[in-house]
Structure 1
Amino acid sequence: MHRPADAPLRITDPSGAAAHVAGVLASLEALEAVLARESGHVRVGRLREGLAETERKTALSAAYLQGLEATKANAIALARFAPDGIAALKAAHARFTQAVEANQAVLATARTVSEGLVKTLADEMNRSLTPTVYGHPSQSPSPYGRAGVARSQPLVLSRSL
């Protein structure tokens, strides 16, 4: 039986329930594997490799969310035809939630580290532009700025490295 892409899924028998549960679990496992690879690459500093599967991750996320919507819409039929499948989906979703939390922690750490590096680099570049008097940073009076406030210079980054 072929159904249009925009038509909602209707589960009417045990085989349809089993197929639906298997499809959602497959999407979830594939998405979890992509997140694990992404986390692994980002954790060791290979950002380009970590972000290489963005399109696949987006497609798998969409498939998983569609599967969840169909699961919600057919909750009564699934409870009737595949109660073990519901338990498997709940367990898989709990594992997936932990994987997402770990992935978010890795990405937040990478963001914090990169922001710290850029800030430190900018501070070091501006420090070399600040004159020193007797070993202490000094600002010459300027009619164009506030006294005592260091002016920062633009920071240029090369994305080709």
Structure 2
Amino acid sequence: MPATISEKEFIASKGAEYGPSEWMKVDQDRINKFADATDDHQFIHVDPEGAKETPFGTTIAHGFLSLSLLVPLVSQITPKPDNVKMGVNYGLNKLRFLAPVKVNSEIRVKSKVLDVVEKRPGQYLTTTEVTLEIKGEKTPALIAEWLGMTFLADE
């Protein structure tokens, strides 16, 4: 569970670095369930025999599966303001998929707060650079500039 910080610390968190998270295994069952949820059954994700013939040599996670796993991984490492009401996904400024996440790989994240801007009283837009690492690989799976809107309660 991540730490709790004060509103003042949250507002001043530009430049803060967090992580790494715990490692998370990406197995074939998770990949198959994502394929079912998104109707993306391309063979490189769900057909282990067919995927052996690709340059990857095995099945790989969908890029958007890797992206969606940022949610539980980043939540492990990012401290929350003690008076947070809610946070919502606000989108991405940049996203690059740099390396495939092969089946049974382990992944984790590190992050750096690039900016915290008050948009309305008690409403803050955070820009965070998130790097998804693959255990044993030099190149990360992805680097994203992720936007989040945090709503703080009146104190």
TM over 0.5: no
Smaller-chain TM-score bracket:
under 0.3
Where is the strand percentage greater, Structure 1 or Structure 2?
A: 2
TM-score (norm. length: structure 2)? 0.22
The structure that has the greater radius of gyration is 1
Q: TM-score, with normalisation over the residues of structure 1?
A: 0.22
Q: Please state which structure has a larger fraction of its residues in helix.
A: 1
